[in-house]
Structure 1
Amino acid sequence: MRILMVALAATMLAGCAGSVMDNARTQTPNKVLTSNKPEKIVAQCVQFAWQDESVFGVDAGAYLQPGKKGGSTVYTRSAESFVDVSTDASGTVLNYFAQKDDFVAKRRLAALATCL
């Protein structure tokens, strides 16, 4: 029963976050970054960096899922911040989106930059 509740909560979270992310993707990303590292390594690094409770406190949740058009997406609760990580001819491309341009969003961007 507990597993079912966790699965249901994760599905609901992904559904809510999905519509927010889809809307954000119609806009220009807050920041576009590139890396020479493989896409999966960068995405896992970002997820790990965003889960650092010493930096983000109780808001340190980060989730990794397959990207909408390939690659990976790392996102926070309610998709307050998320990054689409994909591969193209120049290497790994990271499109960073944030609902608000506040202190937390800047911290998430800085943590993301450590993974490049």
Structure 2
Amino acid sequence: MRKVVIGALVLAALAGCAGSKMKEARSGTPYKTLASDKTPLLVAQCIQFGWQDEAVFGVDAGGFKEPAEAGGFTVYTTGGDYFVDVRTAGAGSTVNYYAAEDTMPAKRRLAALATCL
């Protein structure tokens, strides 16, 4: 039981750090903006699943999905270095992908999310 409580506290602390990073990133331009004919829920679930692939991302594999304040969903990694906002756009979705830096891991995450469109 004690481990569960400690784990929950660690996740809450990471979410706080990730939240401030994500808010700051949103004030700028997304790394990439993409479109899909699929609903925001389907796209977000697919991205979350793809980002959890340990064969691709190793120990950095992680994908968490939450409802976004403005509607749609946000999928993010531990620490919030990579995240997407998936919103309704007509009959489909708009995906704004944010990455802390233009690196190979950022490109790998972009490739994984592109398969979900």
Q: Which residue number corresponds to residue 20 of structure 2?
A: 19
User: Displacement, 1:90?
Assistant: 5.3
Amino acid in the other structure paired with 1:62: G
- Cα deviation for residue 68 of structure 1 reads 3.1
Q: Which runs of 5+ in 2 are unaligned?
A: none
| 3-state SS of 2:75 partner | strand
TM-score (norm 1): 0.94
Structure 1 gap ranges (5+):
none
Secondary structure at the residue paired with 2:62? coil
Alignment-derived partner of residue 5 in structure 1: 6
Identity %: 55
Instruction: Give the secondary-structure state (helix, strand or coil) at the position aligned to 2:70.
Output: coil
Q: Distance in 1 between matches of 2:45 and 2:12?
A: 20
For the aligned residues, what is the CA RMSD? 1.1
Q: Detail structure 1 runs of 4+ shifted over 4 Å in the superposition.
A: none
* 8 A Cα contact 2:40 2:88, kept in partner: yes
Q: Aligned equivalents of 1:70 and 1:110: distance in 2? A: 24
